[in-house]
Chains A and B, each alone.
Chain A
Amino acid sequence: MAATTLRSVTTYDLKLAAPLALGFLVFFVTPLVILLALSFQADPQGSRYGLTQYVHFLADRFSLGVLGSTLWLGVKVTALTLLLGYPVAWLHQRAPGWGKGVIMLLVLLPLLTSVVVRTFAWVVILGRQGIINAALGGLGLIDAPLKLLYTDSGVVMALAQVQMPLMVLPLITALSRIDPNLADASSVLGAGHWRTFRKVTLPLSLPGIIAGCLLTYAAAITAFITQSLIGGGQMLFMPMYIYQQASTLQNWPFAAAISIIFLAAVLVVVSVFTVLGRLSRGYTNA
């Protein structure tokens, strides 16, 4: 695809894209440049410039810890979402017409409510007097309420649910692209369901898995609201860390530097996924 140029993909006048390009320039590129410039200020007044903020961040165990736990949180959420989302997508593929509609509705429904609402629902579910604790207590399975809210697993669970559509939709697309005759061919050649899944369905759905993981990961590590509301005060992730530095402490240069570092880290992850995605597409190209 190296030969693809902007000219070759559209016959429309490229000037038509000018308003969008302008908007992009004003509202995305410019702030990013300002952010970058800000991050090189050695102090909030901007009297000196240098790498002070970056050195500060990279030498600080606490800051590195926050970055690490944020990236790791993304990994856990993505893994859980994939684990729960794949069966949903698979069921959607297998279901008769009306079943497909119901599953699709259930997958899309969360997107129709605000993230804040969904997150508060999880607060209700996970809280000390929440649904889970009430149910387990009522069944006599636990004596004291479990601590679920303000824990790592609580955050992972809530994020997995909130980001589920981002995983399931690409998976459904990928699975529906697989020729149903392939599974039949596999079974008639002697493979059982599990082998057919492992050897045919799973590898051929790889592009969808990678796209879903990429979207979920990017959304999970930047999910400010869910991270803060479910994680509470004790757990700090990058978005909140940046917010604190900027708003509470008014340390704009440091906040900018953290942002740039976070952005770079995310870009690295995204490029890895993109490369994997391209490889898998070449590999499964049907």
Chain B
Amino acid sequence: MTSASPTTAAAAPAGPSTGPSQGRTLLLDGITQRYGASVAVNDVTLDIRGGELVALLGPSGCGKTTLLRIIAGFLAQTKGHVIVGGETMDGLPPNRRSVGIVFQNYALFPHMTVAENVAYGLDARGVDRATQRREAQRMLDLVKLGHLGDRTPRQMSGGQQQRVALARALAVNPSILLLDEPFAALDKNLRLDMQIEVKRIQRLSGITTILVTHDQEEALSMADRVAVLSQGRLEQFSPPTDVYDAPESLFVNSFVGSANRLGGVLEAADRSGGRVRLDVGGVIETRAPRGDVGPGDRVTVCLRPEHLRVDPGAAAGDGAGEALNGVVEMGLPLGATIVHEIRVGDGSAVKVAESRFERASVLAPGTPVRLAPLAPRLASVFAAA
């Protein structure tokens, strides 16, 4: 619960006029959720700064919604604590948590007008009618729907409904804003508009926000930090660029962006990097190996398609390791990039994405080529899966 009573919290000028420093911290401390014998969330700890936008990213069924429901108070966690601004939320019902939530299906009240929807939380806090109306109008103006307050939700488009849901959640000036796959139901163009819009409002209000998504682009583009979940476990919690450039697990490497996986044996490793002899031939310089592996161990190397270069018949090696030989299987011009699928030594396929600036046209299938990393130490190494 916030230190201010709900009434004063709502009566005070709500979110957007206050500075970004106003956001409250959110600590998820060792959260575990069991459903019978199955574990939906497994010992997840997230320390979220005030005003930060954190994306919960993971495949379907990894426990994202469960975690959100625990923060909102719809579900009591089996273990662990939810702490907002230093105060524990455990055991508090949803209506006393000062949390705002936008559901995937928006969950607007169909029997109320848009303005009534937005004013609902203020009404529940006993705010007087005039203030309710003024605040609802202000929130609707914020989401650029000020002129549509008298409509009912079903007279609105999907994007408009979502903005109403956002206005409704923000109207009560919550400490934490939760967004459960808020853009999943929107078509592509609208989705981008709304992502920018939400990011703008979040910046403006400085509210600590958790965005649930299984769309990696959305997570990487919108979030200050990304928490990647897999089967209820936290795999990585870092800024988007780190999640992409320095994945901490094989799962993160494959789930975020795409990766070519190649088996090999670690030849040497220290803090700054490693060297792996690949099963398909060639040696590659890599980032420092993750996990408990030492020289001589079997490892999996992950190479991003855009970190590779295709050289038709070029000479071997250039300091980043010995080049890999292969044959072009297929070439796909994808607008700004060209993707080649190269069949290497043992028959496994390696994808290479090059910018059109580097390569003007597709190589014919059957062309013998050599693959080389664009730079040393781009590839990640993990203990063999």
Which residues of A are interface residues toward B (Cβ below 8 A)? 179, 181-182, 184-192, 195, 199-200, 203-204, 283-286
Contact = CB atoms under 8 A, between A and B. Distances in A.
Contact of B97 (A188, A191, A199, A284): A188
Most A C-beta atoms less than 10 A away, residue of B72, B99, B111, B120: B111
B111 A203 contact: yes
B124 A284 contact: no
A192 B95 CA distance: 6
Contacts of A192: 93, 95
Given A181-B103, A285-B154, A188 B95 contact: yes
Nearest to B171: A189
22 contacts: A179-B105, A182-B107, A184-B74, A185-B109, A186-B109, A186-B120, A187-B74, A187-B95, A188-B73, A188-B74, A188-B94, A188-B95, A188-B100, A189-B120, A189-B168, A189-B172, A190-B124, A191-B120, A204-B110, A284-B111, A285-B110, A286-B154
Contacts of A179: 105, 107
A200 B109 contact: yes
B121 interface: yes
Contact of B110 (A188, A195, A199, A286): A286
Nearest to B153: A286
B101 interface: yes
Contact of B172 (A181, A187, A190, A199): A190
A199 B74 CA distance: 19
A284 B109 CA distance: 9
Interface of B: 6, 72-74, 93-95, 97, 99-101, 103, 105, 107, 109-111, 120-121, 124-125, 154, 168-169, 172
Nearest to A200: B109
B95 A190 contact: yes
Given A188-B100, A189-B168, A181 B93 contact: no
Contacts of B125: 190
A195 B6 CA distance: 16
Most B C-beta atoms less than 10 A away, residue of A184, A185, A189, A285: A189
Nearest to A284: B111
Nearest to A195: B124
Given A195-B124, A204-B110, A283-B111, A187 B105 contact: no
Contacts, number: 67
A189 B121 contact: yes
B110 A187 contact: no
Most A C-beta atoms less than 10 A away, residue of B105, B121, B125: B121
Nearest to B174: A188
A283 B168 CA distance: 20
A285 B172 CA distance: 26
A283 B124 CA distance: 22
Most B C-beta atoms less than 10 A away, residue of A179, A185, A203, A204: A185
A184 B172 contact: no
B91 to A, nearest CB: 15
Most A C-beta atoms less than 10 A away, residue of B124, B168, B172: B124
Contact of A185 (B6, B97, B103, B154): B103
A188 B99 contact: yes
B101 A185 contact: yes
A181 B104 CA distance: 10
Nearest to A206: B111
Contact of B94 (A181, A187, A195, A285): A187
B4 to A, nearest CB: 13
Contacts of A189: 95, 120-121, 124, 168-169, 172
Contacts of A199: 109, 120
Contacts of A191: 95, 120-121, 124
Contacts of B93: 187, 192
Given A182-B109, A204-B111, A284-B110, 13 more contacts: A184-B74, A184-B107, A185-B103, A186-B109, A187-B95, A189-B95, A189-B169, A189-B172, A191-B120, A195-B124, A199-B109, A199-B120, A200-B109
B332 to A, nearest CB: 41
B12 to A, nearest CB: 15
A39 B172 CA distance: 66
Nearest to A181: B107
A58 B307 CA distance: 95
Contacts of B99: 188
A108 B326 CA distance: 71
Contact of A188 (B72, B105, B109, B154): B72
A204 B107 CA distance: 13
A190 B125 CA distance: 7
Nearest to A280: B111
Contacts of B74: 184, 187-188
A187 B109 CA distance: 13
A176 to B, nearest CB: 16
A182 B285 CA distance: 54
* 8 closest residue pairs by CB, A with B: A189-B121, A181-B107, A190-B124, A191-B124, A187-B94, A185-B107, A286-B110, A188-B94
Contacts of B101: 184-185, 188
B156 to A, nearest CB: 13
Given A189-B121, A190-B121, A190-B172, A184 B94 contact: yes
B105 A181 contact: yes
A132 to B, nearest CB: 40
A190 B6 contact: yes
A179 B97 CA distance: 22
Contacts of A203: 111
A266 to B, nearest CB: 30
